[in-house]
Structure 1
C-alpha cells in the first residue's frame, strides 16, 4: 500500500419484565488523559473473559448461553473469530489471584435464590475492570437474562478493553501526530508511537501503522465535511459511497490504477450507536484493493462534531494476511474511540 506523493507528509409477560429490568444502556466516555491508578492494574489477555460458574451449569443450558453470547463471531470477518475467549473457573477456585482479571462474569446459580438479581460494577478489584454478576435460581432463567442483555453486557466488557488500550497508548504518545489531528480537526486523539501521519489532505488525515516483522497495515482515516442534511448525510448509501470516494483519492495500492474500495457484493452492516455520548452511524464490512490483492475488515463511524457542527468520518481498517484480525481491529477502534471533543462553550444569557 503506497502513499500518493501529492499527500505525503514529512516528518424482548416474563421476558418483557426481565428485559425491562435488565436491559442497560452504555455511554462510553473515554478520556484522553492518563489517570493515576488507585487499584492494581487489571490482568488477563486481550478479549479474555473469566466465567465463574459451577461445572454442572457450564456443561448445560447456562454454559451454552454464555458461549452463544460471548463467542458469537465478529461480523464481517472472512474467517470467524469470537468476540471473546472464555476461561471457566469453578466458584470455589475464585481466589484473590484471579480477582484482578479485566473481564469477569460471575454466574451465581442456585435454588436458594428466590428471585434473580444483576449487578454491574467497574474496578472492583483492579482497573480497568468490569465485573458482571447474575444471580438466578436455575440455569434456564440465567440463560434468559443473559440473552436478553447480551448487547449491553458485551458493550460493558468492551468499554474496559478500549480503556486499557487507550491508557497504554497514552503512556507512549506520538505528540507530533496528536498535534496534527488537533490542529486540523479540533479534538484530541490518543495516538501512540508506532502510528504516524501518513497522508494529509484537505480536511483529511490518514493515521498509519505498518509491520516491521510481519505484513501488517493498521489505518485510521479521519475526514471532516460540511453537514447539510441528516436524511442524506446519514443515509447508508451515502456513507458507503463517501467512504469509497475518500479511499480512492487517498489510499492507493502498490500498482498504478489500484485503490482501496468496499466489496460491492457485501453491503456493510449498519447500526445506530452511542459514540462517546454522541449519536453516530456505524458501518462494518470488508475492503479490498481494486486491481491489487489486498483486503480486510473495516469499521466506519459517521457523526456530527459537537464543537463545529461539521460531519466527521472516522474509519479504521486492518490488513494482516494469514493472521487473526480481532485484536488488531480492537486497536484501531480504540484509537478512534479515544477522541475527546472540546467542551461546548457556554452561551451568554441574553439580558431581559
Structure 2
C-alpha cells in the first residue's frame, strides 16, 4: 500500500469513527413516575442525613385522603454509582467531602435527567445544604415528572375537536377517556381503571363569579359544590361536594401564562360512602371574559392515588388557550 492510499484509508476511518460517535444517542432514562435514586453510603443513610432525606422527599403528598410519599426513594451506596442506578430521571448524590457543594447536572448519565450533587465536610453541613435547597430540588423533579407523564400521554390522544370547539382550548387527554356528559359550558370525561376511575371536568363561569371577600377558598368550594347536579351517586340526593371535614389547600399560580388558582382537597358524595382526592384549577381568562375551570378527581378506594392524581395534573397542565 503506497503512502497516498494509506493516508486516504486513515482519513476515511477517522471520518467514519466521528460520524458514528455523532450518531450515538444519549442513553434514555427509565423508571416509574415519581421515583428517585438516592446515592449515599449506608452509614450516612442510616443516620441523621438519611432521616433528613426521608423526611423531605418522602413527606406526605398534599391533598390525598391517606398518607402517600411525595417520591418513592431507592437508596444505593456510592460504589453502585453505575449501571441501573444511573438510569433514573432524578438522582441525588450525597457524600462527605473536603468542600461544601450543591450542583445540578443535566443529563449526566442519561436523558432526560437531573442529577443533584450534595457534599459537605460534616453531617451538619450536608443537612444544612439539604434544608436550603430541598424546595428547588422538589420543584425540578416534579416538573420533570409532569413532562415525562405528558410525553407518555401524547402517544395516544382523545380526539380534541369537542373540547376545542366548545372552549377554544387545546388539551392533551389520553384516548382511554370517554365523554360522559357535555353541555354548552360543561364537559365530564371519565376513564375506567382496575381499581375504580379517574375523571376530568371542564367548565366556564362569568369572570366575576369568584368573590375574594370574605374568603376566596369558600367561593371555590361553593363553585365546586354547584356542579353536584351533574356529578352524583345512583341514589337520590347524593351530589358530589367538597369534603367538609378538611380545608382544601389553595395556591396562586400561572397556567398557560394566566393567573390561576390551584386547589387540592377531597370530595365525597353527600349521603353516600364514595370519596377521593381532587385537583382543581380556576384560570382567569380575560381574553374570553370567563373563569375557565379544569378539575381532575379519582375514585380508587383500594389503591394508592398519588400517580393517578399526577396524571390528571399533567393533563390539565397541557392546557393552551387559543388566541381570540
Q: Identify the TM-score tier after normalising by the shorter chain.
A: 0.7 to 0.9
Deviation at 1:127, TM superposition (A): 3.4
Aligned pairs (5 A) from 1:276-295: 276-295=256-275
Q: Which residue of 2 is the match for residue 193 of structure 1?
A: 175
CA separation in 1, counterparts of 2:263 and 2:84? 40
CA separation in 1, counterparts of 2:26 and 2:189? 33
Q: Which has the higher contact order (CA 8 A, sep 6+)?
A: 1
Q: Which residue of 1 is the match for residue 4 of structure 2?
A: none
CA separation in 2, counterparts of 1:250 and 1:195? 18
Q: Which residue of 1 is the match for residue 199 of structure 2?
A: 219
2:284·2:290 contact (CA, 8 Å) conserved in 1? yes
Quick one: structure 1 residues 119 and 204, their matched pair in 2 at CA, closer, same or farther if it must change by over 3 Å? Answer: farther
CA separation in 1, counterparts of 2:286 and 2:130? 35
Choose 305-314 or 100-109, whichever is displaced more.
Answer: 305-314
* Residue 157 (structure 1) aligned with residue 141 (structure 2): yes
* Local SS of the residue matching 1:171: coil
* Residue 98 (structure 1) aligned with residue 85 (structure 2): yes
Q: Which runs of 5+ in 1 are unaligned?
A: 1-37, 346-352
Quick one: structure 1 residues 323 and 97, their matched pair in 2 at CA, closer, same or farther if it must change by over 3 Å? Answer: closer
- TM-score where L is the length of structure 2: 0.85
The structure that is strand-richer by fraction is 2
Q: Which residue of 1 is the match for residue 65 of structure 2?
A: 78
Deviation at 1:95, TM superposition (A): 0.9
* Local SS of the residue matching 1:128: coil
CA separation in 1, counterparts of 2:136 and 2:238? 40
* Local SS of the residue matching 2:281: strand
1:307·1:341 contact (CA, 8 Å) conserved in 2? no
* Local SS of the residue matching 1:101: coil
Per-residue CA deviations over 1:249-297 (Å, capped at 9, x if unaligned) read: 2212122222211111212121223435443222111111112221011
Q: Which residue of 2 is the match for residue 126 of structure 1?
A: 110
- TM-score where L is the length of structure 1: 0.78
Deviation at 1:299, TM superposition (A): 1.2
Q: Which runs of 5+ in 2 are unaligned?
A: 1-24
- State which structure, 1 or 2, has the greater radius of gyration over its C-alpha atoms: 2
2:207·2:286 contact (CA, 8 Å) conserved in 1? no
Deviation at 1:339, TM superposition (A): 1.4
Q: Which residue of 2 is the match for residue 87 of structure 1?
A: 74
* Local SS of the residue matching 2:54: helix
* Local SS of the residue matching 2:87: coil
Q: CA RMSD in A?
A: 2.3
Moved beyond 6 Å, runs of 4+:
none
Aligned pairs (5 A) from 1:1-352: 39-110=26-97, 112-113=98-99, 116-175=100-159, 178-211=160-193, 214-228=194-208, 232=212, 235-246=216-227, 248-305=228-285, 307-342=287-322
CA separation in 2, counterparts of 1:254 and 1:261? 15
1:262·1:288 contact (CA, 8 Å) conserved in 2? yes
Quick one: structure 1 residues 340 and 122, their matched pair in 2 at CA, closer, same or farther if it must change by over 3 Å? Answer: farther
